[in-house]
Amino acid sequence: MSVAGMRVIPTKGFLLDLKRRIEIIKEGYRLLSMKRDELTAKLTSFLEQLKATKREVMERAEEIYTRFRETYVVLGPSAIESYANMTRGEFDANILPISVMGIIIPMVKVLREVELKDRFSPVIRERVYELRELLQDLIKVAELEMKIEIIASDLERTNRIVNALEKIIIPEMEQLAKYIEERIEEDGLEDFIRIKLIRNIIVKRRGE
Amino acid sequence: MSEIDEYLIVKAHGIMSRLIPPQSLAQMSFSKELKDLVSLLLMTDYRPYIEKLEELSANTLSNGFKKVMINRFKELINVASGQHKKFIVEYARIVEFENVLKIISSKISESMIGKLEIAPVGIESINYESLIKAKELEQLFRVLKSYEPYNEFRDEVINNFIENKNLVLVDYELHRIRYGKLLELTSKIEFMGVSELRKLIGIEIDILNIFTVTAPMLYSFSPDLMKLIIIPGGYLLSEEKLLRALELKRRSEMINYLKGYRDIIEMVLDRQETKAYLLAQKKIRNYLDREKIANYASFFDVYMCMKRIEYEYRDLIQISYGVEYNLPRELLQRNLISY
């Protein structure tokens, strides 16, 4: 009888140590279960958020792109591209790590927005403002998707550990503890019988 | 009008007879793909420029469209003389100005200019290479100002641009120079319909200015900057009136104040600038059509010819990119200037 990675010695000391370990593992299992439940709740909430946001953003993106393409084809590529050139390298963002249940998830912090005020031909200004808003929405969607991906991957790992603890490690260790207890009890009984036998022999010898 | 300029009018009529009829343009806007558009264009002046394209795209097609437009302008320039010739040359600077704007914007963004992107017009007074080679903006504007008509670039605009890198300034300064030149030349040309021509140019200026003066109210653009880009010489909207309009804060005030362009202003205030721009272009085209009989066989015909060449070019660009981007065909047809 053994548990992976553990050398089993059927002694009382080992049993006490094993029981202590089982208690710690059970506590860990309890905490991990709580983490799993919390991550599931977070994931569900983020998924709902993403579903709503994504649908809204995609609908808006479709409208904005259609209007932009319309403006692009009406004014011609030359006029639009000259202005588009001017915004190159103006946008800057930082990805900050934030912790949710010990998991590092990204939060996008826009450091520098593309400067629009006064800078675009009055004929194309509305399209440019719309595209900037769309960019902000797309960043929100990308941030949510990234959060979901990271949480889902951690949830999968946590779930695997919880399942392994629940279905394999804890039952095996409890079985091992039971086995050791039985071994110790058996050994004790053997000792008792052996002592009784020896005592009987000694009593016999004294009586002779 | 001299004999050669009478020939100019005949030439203009000749070119107009070769333009694609509005119905055909409308038909082209329903092309399923670019191949269909090309097959329809093979029966027109565009054939030599589009039949053997290595890569078929809206970009390569638009280069062909540009060449045909330039060639048509050149045909007019070649038979014109004196002030008429100068007028056509100034009108044809649209492409040249687009190129100058492209060079300046790429200088700011430090991007490379591909050979395809700059289409020399062949009638320009400017050497693009000298602009591209300029290392700094100051040097670029020094070179630019050494050419006609760019010597009319105002120093305050150049200084402001170098400081703020705001392309609107250069864009509108180029418009100001072009319209200023056109108006100046109309005063030097004697012909029947000159007042209608001045009126048309004035309306074009008014429309650009409407977009400018509504910017502070709609988008909090700086009124000081907008003052700098107002183009003088409008038909209904004087410079003083436009300067006062920059201070207006309410939609109703703006509509009542800028009388004469109510429908366009309402669209601009509804933030439908593209539709307003198209409506304006269609109004100008309608005005041209209305005036053509009264001013038949005059220089007005030449102006009308140039306008229609430009509209055809813009419509074809619209169709080719619209087909490439798969825009709804009804929308494409509705947006055609010539239709």
Question: Which positions ≥6 away from A85 have C-beta within 8 Å?
Answer: B102, B105, B106, B108, B109, B111
pLDDT recorded at residue A80: 84
Establish if B269 belongs to a structural domain: yes
Within 10 angstroms of residue A198's Cβ, the number of other Cβ atoms is 10
CB contact under 8 A, B321 and A122: no
The CATH number of whichever domain residue B200 belongs to comes to 1.20.1690
Low-confidence ranges of chain A (pLDDT < 50): none
Q: How far B282 CA lies from chain A's nearest CA (Å)?
A: 13
The widest CA-to-CA distance across chain B, in whole angstroms, is 55
- For chain A, how far is it from start to end, CA to CA, in angstroms? 47
Q: Which residue of B has its CA nearest to A120?
A: B168
pLDDT of residue B119: 65
| Percent helix / strand / coil, chain B, rounded to 5 | 70, 0, 30
User: How high is the mean pLDDT of chain A?
Assistant: 89
Q: Answer whether B215's CB lies under 8 Å from B269's CB.
A: no
Q: Is A133 on the interface with B (CB under 8 A)?
A: no
Judge: B274–A127 Cβ closer than 8 Å, yes or no.
yes
DSSP structure class, residue A122: T
Range of the domain at B216: 194-294
- Name the domain count of chain B: 1
- Is residue B18 assigned to a domain? no
Q: Taking Cα atoms as reference points, which of A103, A97, A104 lies closest to residue A35?
A: A103
Instruction: Decide if B317 touches A, using CB distance below 8 A.
Output: yes
Residue B69 at interface with chain A, using a CB cutoff of 8 Å:
no
pTM: 0.80
pLDDT of residue B318 exceeding 50: yes
Asked if the model's pLDDT at residue B290 lies above 50, the reply is yes
Query: B interface mutation test: which of A72, A73, A117 has the most B CBs within 10 A?
Result: A73
For residue B293 the two structure tokens come to 């009989």
Tell whether B20 is covered by a domain.
no
Nearest to A78, CA basis, from B120, B118, B127, B336: B118
Average pLDDT of span B244-250: 91
For residue B93, tell me if it sits in a domain.
no
Q: Number of residue pairs across A and B with CB atoms under 8 Å?
A: 112
A79 touches chain B (CB under 8 A): yes
Q: For B95-109, write each residue's pLDDT tens digit.
A: 888 889 888 888 887
B130: pLDDT strictly greater than 80: yes
Does A159 touch chain B if contact means CB atoms closer than 8 Å? no
A85-94, A98-107, B183-192, B262-271, range with greatest mean pLDDT: B262-271
> Sign of torsion, CA A36 A38 A43 A48?
positive
Measure B142 CA to nearest chain A CA, in Å. 21
DSSP A72-103: HHHH-HHHHHHHHHHTTT--EEEEEEEEETTE
- Residue contact A119–B167, C-beta within 8 A: yes
Instruction: Give the per-residue pLDDT at B116.
Output: 44
- Residue ranges of domains in chain A, CATH in brackets: 12-197 (1.10.287.3240)
Q: In chain A, what's the furthest Cα-to-Cα distance?
A: 126
Q: What does residue A81 show for φ and ψ, rounded to 5 degrees?
A: -65, -35
Whether residue B87 is predicted with pLDDT greater than 80 in this model: the reply is: yes
Checking ipTM against 0.90, whether it exceeds it is no
User: For residue B115, is pLDDT > 90?
Assistant: no
Predicted local confidence at residue B288, as pLDDT: 87
B245 inside domain: yes
For the segment B7-24, what is each residue's pLDDT rounded down to a tens digit? 899 999 999 999 999 999
The Cα B310–Cα B304 span in angstroms is: 10
Beta pairing class for A103-112 and A92-100: antiparallel
Beta bridge partners of A177: none
Mapping DSSP to helix (H, G, I), strand (E, B) and coil, where does residue B219 land?
A: helix
| Mean pLDDT across B174-195 | 88
Q: Give the pLDDT mean for B168-184.
A: 92
In a domain, B155, yes or no: no
Cα distances from A130 to residues A62, B212, B264, B277, B302, in angstroms, run 12, 19, 21, 18, 40
Average pLDDT value for residue range B153-179 = 91
CB contact under 8 A, B274 and A70: yes
For B18, the token pair is 């070769």
pLDDT at B304 over 80: yes
Residue A118 near residue B221, CB atoms below 8 Å:
yes
With beta carbons less than 8 A apart as the criterion, state whether A173 and A18 touch.
yes
Q: CA–CA separation, A163 vs A150, rounded Å? A: 20
Q: Which residue of chain A comes nearest to B213, CA vs CA?
A: A122
Residue of A76, A81, A116 with shortest CB distance to B314: A76
